[in-house]
Chain A
């Protein structure tokens, strides 16, 4: 202790001046590596990378949404072509009740999951709704042309695609909810 003290320069001046003049001697080494290691994990993600990874994770949802939109576009084209081949099909109402109840049931199940967990944007959510614009358009056309086979076929296809999409989303959510060590690899 005596040796250490004698090696240091003894100063007789104001405290502030002494500290300012010996400022570097008051500095310690930097922080340990754990600080950067922890920070690295919290770095704001690159925007393009985030979008790419989100697309990679939800690509199939995107693909089905695109298919639904294209389908809706084709329907509009059909309707604009004003096909007048009308047949009265008695099971139409039954088919409509079957699919709408199924879809509504799936939508109810889906709504039980928190929005952030589903990872669906507002456009996708809108597309998933049963009574969205496309549905209303089809319904209106069917009301005025109840027997139009092409409209009926298009509507069935529309219902089926929506049901398929909802099933896939629900299956994925089930997987995430029931992660066990044995199936973790499959889920991830």
Chain B
């Protein structure tokens, strides 16, 4: 169902059906963001609900030239980050990866399967998982991620590389088991 500006106009007039249409158009994609970020279905639903309350209440603030999808996604991601902060997940500064650490990586040597990658991401520590999700799935740049998490760009990049390395190791172990 394509979401047009018309829905936003109807929502602003208080049309309940328009709110429902807006929710149905975005809920699945936004729930998936919440699920990846929180790692738990029930928490993902709670965060999604809180985020949509904000979306509905702030539709007046959406300017005509801004993208509705990007706007909703940013609200949802911010709520996910707020959830993680409440869980005391800290995004601390780390040193840059050294040359020896980077040299080990040979991505082509790994055989990925969807289930193994999903499981590996699920096993990552919250900090690594957040950075990896924001970069690969939500397609934010390292600079944007750094701003969102309040860390330096080089830390964001390093955390991402380490998260990827961890996924590779976990997938490797899984592949050996199979």
Contacts and interface: CB of A to CB of B under 8 A. Distances in A.
B114 A36 contact: no
Contacts of A47: 14
Given A12-B111, A13-B112, A26-B118, A42 B31 contact: no
B28 A15 contact: no
Q: Which of B13, B56, B114 has the most A CB atoms < 10 Å from its CB?
A: B114
Interface in A1-56: 1-2, 4-5, 8-16, 18-20, 22, 25-32, 34-36, 38-40, 42-49
B32 A28 contact: yes
A19 B118 CA distance: 10
Interface residues of B, number: 39
A31 B30 CA distance: 9
Given A9-B113, A39-B53, A31 B167 contact: no
Nearest to B60: A44
Interface in B6-47: 13-16, 19-20, 23, 27-29, 31-32, 35, 44-45
B110 interface: yes
Interface in A48-92: 48-49
Given A14-B108, A18-B117, 10 more contacts: A5-B178, A8-B115, A15-B107, A15-B136, A15-B167, A16-B136, A36-B23, A39-B19, A39-B23, A39-B56
Interface of B: 13-16, 19-20, 23, 27-29, 31-32, 35, 44-45, 48-49, 52-53, 56-57, 107-118, 136-137, 164, 167-168, 178
